[in-house]
Amino acid sequence: MPDRLLLVLKGSHLTIQQVSGDAMEIIGKRPQLLLKKKLKDILGKKQSKLVKQYLHKHQEANHPLELAVKYRKQTKFVWGTLHRLGKLLILELVVPQQAEVALRQQVQRERLLAETAQRIRKSLDLREILQTTVKEVRSLLQADRVLVYRVWANGTGSAIAEATSPGWIKVLDFVFPEEVFPEEARHNYLQGRIYTLADRDRGEVVPCLVDFLAQIQVRAKLVIPIVQKDNLWGLLIAHQCGQPRTWQDWEVNLLQQLATQLAIAIQQSELYQQLQEELTERQRIENALRQSEALFRSLSESSPIGIFRTDATGAWIYVNPRCQAIGDFTWEAALGDGWQRFIHSEDRAEFSQQWQAATADNQEFSSEIRFVKPDGTVRFCRLRTAPVSAAREEIAGHVGTVEDITESRAIAQMKNEFISIVSHELRTPLTAIRGSLGLVANGVYDRKPQRGQRMLQIAATQTDRLVRLVNDILDLGRLESGRVALVKQPCDAATLMLQSGDTMRGNAEQHGITLSVVPLKIEVWAAPDSIVQVLTNLIGNAIKFSQPCSTVLVTAEAIRASAQASANAGEPTPYVLFQVKDQGRGIPADKLESVFGQFQQVDASDSRKKGGTGLGLTICRSIIQQHGGRIWAESILGAGSTFYFTLPVPPDSSLCKCGTAEDGNQTSAGN
Amino acid sequence: MATKRVLVIDDEDVVQEVLQGCLEDVGGWETLLASSGSEGLEIAIAKQPDAILLDVSMPDMDGVETFQQLQNHSATKDIPVILLTAKIQPADRARFSQLGIAGVIAKPFDPMTLADRIATSLGWDMNDEL
């Protein structure tokens, strides 16, 4: 039986209360000297701290604690086991047999190795793994410095993790030159060989290396390679700085095993890192894809043009909201060939044939079709497609656009009609001019001067007609294209009325007509020249279509409309109403609106007989509309016509401040 | 050979006057004038002209309708008609040709060659006239 010593401990300082056994044999002290001593005095601070931690951790449980105690100034190991017995602690110290010591040491080393390996392998972060390794190994070997040395591809290397005892220089991030690490050494390490140096100063290394080692304060060292597959990743190095050290076999083995664990941990970390990078990259790609998807979806979903996509057979697999709105069909109804049901029945058969041929040939396709909405309205659409190529030049389908051209088509038609009419209207005076001048120029009337004179007169009057027509076309073009903005300003209605009257008075006298202007002194918000143009045009028409001895009357009145009345009438509040009244032949009810259209005289021969161009009222309407006003005509056949137009008053007009009239329609007397 | 008599139907007075000058003072023919299709039809029936020069764009009854009425009337169906038009689209020319019209002359025209062109269209020998 080995010798045994029992110490009964008590209190927070773990004071020895009782001693039983051979104290002299085990720890070289007489029992009396141990009584009342504190445990730390017997075991040292480190072991004592371990005991306290154990007690703190296992306050209730009854786990025995095993301690390896190397009592101060004693060479042999003493094994201690701590037991809890109620409030008492009993420390049992035993001097083990030598074989048992070796076994226990082996067990302890393996346990340390396992714990250290576990700590190293616990993390996937390379920096943390390396730092844990150097710290644990230094603690395990009680070395002065432990490094992880990274071997770079170019032959150099550097310490990338370091644990160093206080007082010794640190070599972290120190780049060791290639000479320090010759190819031969690299080769040996790759074969798994280790390097031990017990004492730098015992002639085992070349002098230059001795200097270098001295420079970094290395007296003894142990170097273990870290090999990954066939690659020397780095070295695990333990330094003894202050004194020589003969490295024990168990120390070498321990470090070798840790290097193996480290290599695995590094590989795992690198794989993890690689995985993380791949995940990050995948996330980045997914984000980019999401953004791209959002971008293209917004392009399609918000597009003002209808967009659709077909599969390789031409069946619709996507239709954007605008396209659905154009055809007034739903997504579900449009998919496949469903959309073709909404094509006008007259177009469907022919279109379907063209569509099948185009999708079969994988050609670009363009066609005009009519969609019929559920309410029966017809929309003219331009449909275009282009094939979408997939991998290996296969056709994945077609992408197409649907554009509603109903309005633009109507405008184009109106434009063509206008050009056709203008062409005719221009050619008529040109024919007369060309013909009459041609006859005179060729001497046909050299002997008939009166006929020649008549031809020249025709040429002159038709030239005037042509000039008026060209001017009116240009005026209308400018007004309707918006190229010339009307500059509005406060201007006096009376002045505009009188100026127009003065301009037209000679004309009225020529026709034997009384022109009566009753000016109204009030400000209107208008471009004065254009309003004079409107008034003279209306007065001119009135004169043209009046019988001699009749009267053309020009008046105006201020209207203070209520907000309600204004909303119903469509005029701004308040406004000035102008009237040009004649006693002429009148306008049929069905032409009261159309007379404001281009070349829409009541009688088609009016342009010839009355000298009008057929654009005057169209120009008047355009001018008034650009003032925010309204123009219309009322008439009694055979009794005369009255043309009305409205103009707004300036924003700061007194009319604006008067509020609403009691009856909503008050007339001011003219002066 | 007797002097040719050509009926001009055009609603534009000044164009009538110029045509009259071209036909009488250059072509040496007689002219009859009408300002509308219906007036032209009456004169054609009554006066039996050798040819009719007919404006296409006229109010109420246009040139094509007037031509069809002339064709429908036994007294006028054999009178050759030449259309005067500002419309010079190829499609119009083809349409007029299908109707059986003897010729089409575009406005404006050269007053010195108008009579020649009419005579050529109708196969008249101008030397006989002069």
CB A183 within 8 A of CB A163: no
Portions of chain A given CATH number 3.30.565.10: 485-657
From chain A, the residues in CB contact with B18 under 8 A are 431-432, 435-436, 439, 455, 458
As a whole number of angstroms, the distance between CA A189 and CA A205 comes to 17
Portions of chain A given CATH number 3.30.450.40: 114-273
Element (H, E) at A220: strand A220-228
Per-residue model confidence as pLDDT tens digits over B27-49: 999 999 999 999 999 999 999 99
CATH (domain of B116): 3.40.50.2300
Nearest to A629 by CA among A488, A419, A447: A488
- Residues A158-182 have a mean pLDDT of 80
**Which residue in B107, B108, B112 is closest to A442 by CB distance?**
B112
Q: What superfamily does domain A4-96 belong to in CATH?
A: PAS domain (3.30.450.20)
**Confidence grade of residue A414 (pLDDT, cut at 50, 70, 90):** confident
CB contact (8 A) between residue A427 and residue B86: yes
CB A580 within 8 A of CB A559: no
Mutate one of A424, A427, A610 to test the B interface: name it (highest B CB count within 10 A).
Answer: A427
Mutate one of A431, A448, A610 to test the B interface: name it (highest B CB count within 10 A).
Answer: A431
Joined tokens for residue A331: 């997504």
CA of B5: how far to CAs of A315, B47, B123, in Å?
70, 9, 15
CB contact (8 A) between residue A454 and residue B17: yes
Strands B5-9 and B51-55: parallel
A466: left (phi over 0), alpha (psi -120 to 50) or beta: alpha
Q: What is the pLDDT of residue A42?
A: 75
As a whole number of angstroms, the distance between CA A206 and CA A183 comes to 16
Greatest mean pLDDT among A199-213, A385-399, A482-496, A538-552 lies in A538-552
- Residues A539-567 have a mean pLDDT of 82
Per-residue model confidence as pLDDT tens digits over A442-464: 999 999 999 999 999 999 999 99
Q: What is the pLDDT of residue A670?
A: 30
Portions of chain A given CATH number 3.30.450.20: 4-96, 303-404
Nearest to A239 by CA among A168, A182, A179: A168
**Confidence grade of residue A665 (pLDDT, cut at 50, 70, 90):** very low
Q: Quote the number of domains for chain B.
A: 1
CATH classification of A303-404 is 3.40.605.10, yes or no?
A: no
Taking 70 as the threshold, does the pLDDT of residue A565 lie above it?
Answer: no
Q: What would be the CATH architecture of the domain defined by A410-479?
A: Orthogonal Bundle (1.10)
**Burial degree of B9 (CB within 10 A; 0-12, 13-18, 19+):** buried
Compare all CA atoms of chain B with the CA of A424 and give the residue at the minimum distance.
Answer: B86
Q: What is the pLDDT of residue A536?
A: 93
Q: In the predicted model, what is the mean pLDDT of chain A?
A: 83
ipTM: 0.92
Residue at token pair 């002219």:
B31
* E strands present in A2-126: 4-10, 15-21, 65-70, 77-85, 88-94
The more confidently predicted of residues A248 and A69 is: A248
Per-residue model confidence as pLDDT tens digits over A128-142: 888 988 998 888 888
Per-residue model confidence as pLDDT tens digits over A492-522: 999 999 999 998 999 899 899 999 999 999 9
As a whole number of angstroms, the distance between CA A396 and CA B12 comes to 65
Per-residue model confidence as pLDDT tens digits over A19-75: 888 777 777 778 888 888 887 777 777 777 777 777 777 666 566 776 666 555 555
Structural domain harbouring B107? 5-129
From chain A, the residues in CB contact with B12 under 8 A are 428, 431-432, 608
Strands A514-517 and A365-372: unpaired
| Window 586-625 of A, Cβ < 8 Å to B | 603-605, 608
The length of chain A is 671
**Which residue in B11, B26, B109 is closest to A431 by CB distance?**
B109
The SS3 call for residue B33 is strand
Q: What one-letter code names the amino acid at A669? A: A
CATH number for the domain formed by residue range(s) A485-657: 3.30.565.10
Q: What one-letter code names the amino acid at B71? A: Q
Q: What is the pLDDT of residue A75?
A: 54
Preceding omega of A182 cis (within 30 degrees of 0): no
pTM for this model (two decimals): 0.53
CATH classification of A114-273 is 3.90.180.10, yes or no?
A: no
**Residues of chain B where predicted confidence (pLDDT) is lower than 50:** 129-130
Compute how many other C-beta atoms are within 10 angstroms of the C-beta atom of residue A294. Answer: 11
Joined tokens for residue A447: 């002997």
CA of A350: how far to CAs of A340, A346, A367, in Å?
11, 8, 11
As a whole number of angstroms, the distance between CA A30 and CA A408 comes to 118
